Amino acid sequence: MTYNVAILGASGYTGAELVRLIATHPGLQIVGLSGNSKAGMAMADVFPHLRHLDLPVLTTIEDMDFDGVDLVFCALPHATSQAVIAELPKTLKIVDLSADFRLRDPADYEKWYGKGHAATEMQKEAVYGLTEFYREEIKAARLVAGTGCNAATGQYVLRPLIEAGVIDLDQIILDLKAAVSGAGRSLKENLLHAELSEGAHAYSVGGTHRHLGEFDQEFSAIAGRPVKIQFTPHLIPANRGILATTYVQGDPDVIYETLKAAYADEPFIEVLPMGQHPSIKHIRASNFCHIGVVADRIPGRAIVIAALDNLTKGSSGQAIQNANLMLGLPETEGLMLAPVFP
């Protein structure tokens, strides 16, 4: 069975990553691509690495024909997404890769994104797209909200630990190193090769990064009380990958066993043997997430490190994993591509 999908916002990196993955996905076929600023162009002219594929020409969203489309991936910028999705035919299944439907509470949305939500009804309906923890809801959902890439990485470490009650909820520090593609194809000075290569610096320091909205929402819900973590992302001179170094207080062996058990049956989450820890080099361009636990020399403290590819498991791969569930396809279909090394 092959399903027809369309990609809105196909001229960005997550759009291109969706096309890359769907290119060898046996159950999905791309029948529409939109990219407003590049409407009329062939995808090969926007992304020459896709030139071997037989793809639809880019159109505006207005000109796109949704007849026969089973599912839409929406890879539009934040804020744009909610307006577009509100107007889509109600028969369509939708996986949204923007931030617009990640936060359930309109007040939270306004707090983190600086303006009111324009589609609060759909916001209620949306299912949070962290597959391993919302699997059943996703299967039944019409609209799934893809998580933030940093938010996904941190949650893979912390959700099972908070759920199991094995760490101190008031002493959680997440120091994250992010590759640059997470910032998208934006023309910003600090994203230039000359500025970033041989550089490294923090950003959104002090608790201002928007993905904290997701952490706060999810961790507090699990704990049944407010949980606030410290979160400092850093930009490193690499293109793909997130490395999340998490400092927690609790018994390291219990922490390890908790994570090991939580992901025992998960196809994409690999918990390394106790004492080992991952590299972003080892999950690149794949849908896998590697997690490692190391005991600190100070008793009762552990370092848990997770690595995933922000464009794949953190975004477009996750989106396809969710689409598979929504369409009744095998969850791993099209996603078992091995990481690219070196």
Check binding of 282 to a second copy (CB under 8 A): yes
Instruction: Compare residues 175 and 257 and give the one whose CB is closer to a second copy.
Output: 175
DSSP state of 222: H
- In the annotation, is 289 catalytic? no
Check binding of 127 to a second copy (CB under 8 A): no
The two tokens of residue 252 are 């390291």
Instruction: Compare residues 44 and 221 and give the one whose CB is closer to a second copy.
Output: 44
Q: Which residues contact 165 (CB under 8 A, 6 or more apart)?
A: none
Rounded Cα distance, 47 and 40, in Å = 14
Return contacts of 57-66, CB within 8 angstroms, 24+ apart: 57/33, 58/10, 58/11, 58/33, 58/34, 59/32, 59/33, 59/34, 60/34, 60/36, 61/8, 61/34, 61/36, 63/39, 64/6, 64/8, 64/32, 64/34, 65/32, 66/6, 66/32, 66/92
Catalytic residue among 88, 138, 149, 306, which?
Answer: 149
The interface region with a second copy, picked from 112-120, 154-162, 199-207, 253-261 by CB under 8 A, is: 199-207
Closest separation in Å from C-beta 169 to a second copy:
12
Q: Could you tell me the CA-to-CA distances from 237 to 143, 159, 306 in Å, in that order? A: 34, 29, 18
Closest separation in Å from C-beta 196 to a second copy:
4
Rounded Cα distance, 76 and 99, in Å = 10
Among residues 39, 139, 277, 333, the one that binds a second copy under rule CB under 8 A: 277
Closest separation in Å from C-beta 44 to a second copy:
9
Q: Is the dihedral of CA 26, 28, 32, 37 positive or negative?
A: negative
Find the binding residues for a second copy in span 17-36 (CB under 8 A). 19-20, 23-24
DSSP state of 313: I
Stretch 313-332: interaction string toward a second copy, x if CB under 8 A? --------------------
Check binding of 181 to a second copy (CB under 8 A): yes
The interface region with a second copy, picked from 30-38, 129-137, 152-160, 200-208 by CB under 8 A, is: 200-208
Among residues 6, 28, 47, 123, the one that binds a second copy under rule CB under 8 A: 47
Residue owning tokens 């009744």: 328
Residue owning tokens 């303006």: 115
Instruction: Compare residues 92 and 173 and give the one whose CB is closer to a second copy.
Output: 173
Instruction: Compare residues 142 and 277 and give the one whose CB is closer to a second copy.
Output: 277
User: Which of 95, 97, 116, 94 has its CA nearest to residue 105?
Assistant: 116
Q: Could you count the other beta carbons within 10 Å of the beta carbon of residue 270?
A: 16
Check binding of 295 to a second copy (CB under 8 A): yes
Among residues 83, 107, 202, 261, the one that binds a second copy under rule CB under 8 A: 202
Check binding of 111 to a second copy (CB under 8 A): no
Stretch 226-265: interaction string toward a second copy, x if CB under 8 A? --x-x-x-x-xxxxxx-x-x-x------------------
Rounded Cα distance, 152 and 318, in Å = 10
Q: Which residues are catalytic?
A: 149
